[in-house]
């Protein structure tokens, strides 16, 4: 669906390294529509909520370090809308492990360590809906853009 939405987040390392604009630019240029965005310094409690993709990772040895890193500074959360936003968003981020993330992807261009991999993207349409509701309880903003007919068939 061209109305599919995904939750994309620039992690604290991405903010500190000045990559917020670069990441926004990639999603804009690809043709996605920005329907929500905010900068927040999240608490560990928020980051561990069942509605986040990270809830599945509780019990993994790296989980405490992941939460500490994610709560170490502000993040930029965004909702991007467009055809296959969830899957295409994941492709744009690149593989989780830096050794496998291809050049041309955000992680493949900017990250070297799995625990400092710059960005997050929802892993399924259903988890995207949960993450969007968690990070944007106020809802997203719907509006039309003039060039939709040049992006979608
Ligand atoms: P992704 O972020 O690609 O969806 P994930 O959901 O499996 O990957 O894991 C969430 C984050 O947890 C990931 O971006 C970085 C961290 N992580 C995953 N596997 C890890 C590992 N083996 N060691 C350290 N951190 C890890
Ligand atoms: Mg994940």
Three-class secondary structure of residue 22 per DSSP: helix
- Calculate the alpha carbon distances from 56 to 1, 50, 60, 117, 122 in Å: 26, 8, 9, 18, 12
Check pocket membership of 123 for ligand 1, CB cut-off 6 A. yes
pLDDT tens-digit readout, 11-32: 999 999 999 999 999 999 999 9
Predicted ipTM of the assembly: 0.97
Task: Write down the pLDDT at residue 86.
Answer: 98
96 Cβ closer than 6 Å to some ligand 1 atom: yes
Which residue numbers in the chain have pLDDT < 70? Answer: none
Atom of ligand 1 nearest to the CA of 96: 3
Per-residue pLDDT of 31-46, as tens digits, reads 999 999 999 999 999 9
């Amino acid at each position: 669906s061209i109305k599919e939405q995904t939750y994309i987040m620039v992690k604290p390392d991405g903010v500190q390294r000045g990559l917020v604009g670069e990441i926004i630019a990639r999603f804009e240029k690809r043709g996605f529509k920005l329907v929500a965005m905010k900068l927040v310094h999240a608490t560990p409690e928020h980051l561990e909520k069942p509605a986040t993709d990270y809830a599945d990772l509780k019990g993994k040895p790296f989980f405490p370090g992941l939460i500490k890193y994610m709560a170490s500074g502000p993040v930029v959360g965004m909702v991007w809308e467009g055809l296959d936003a969830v899957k295409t968003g994941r492709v744009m981020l690149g593989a989780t492990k830096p050794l496998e993330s291809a050049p041309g992807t955000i992680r493949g261009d900017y990250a070297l360590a799995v625990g400092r991999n710059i960005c997050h993207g929802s892993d399924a349409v259903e988890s995207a809906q949960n993450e969007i509701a968690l990070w944007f309880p106020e809802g997203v903003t719907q509006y039309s853009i003039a060039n939709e007919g040049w992006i979608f068939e």
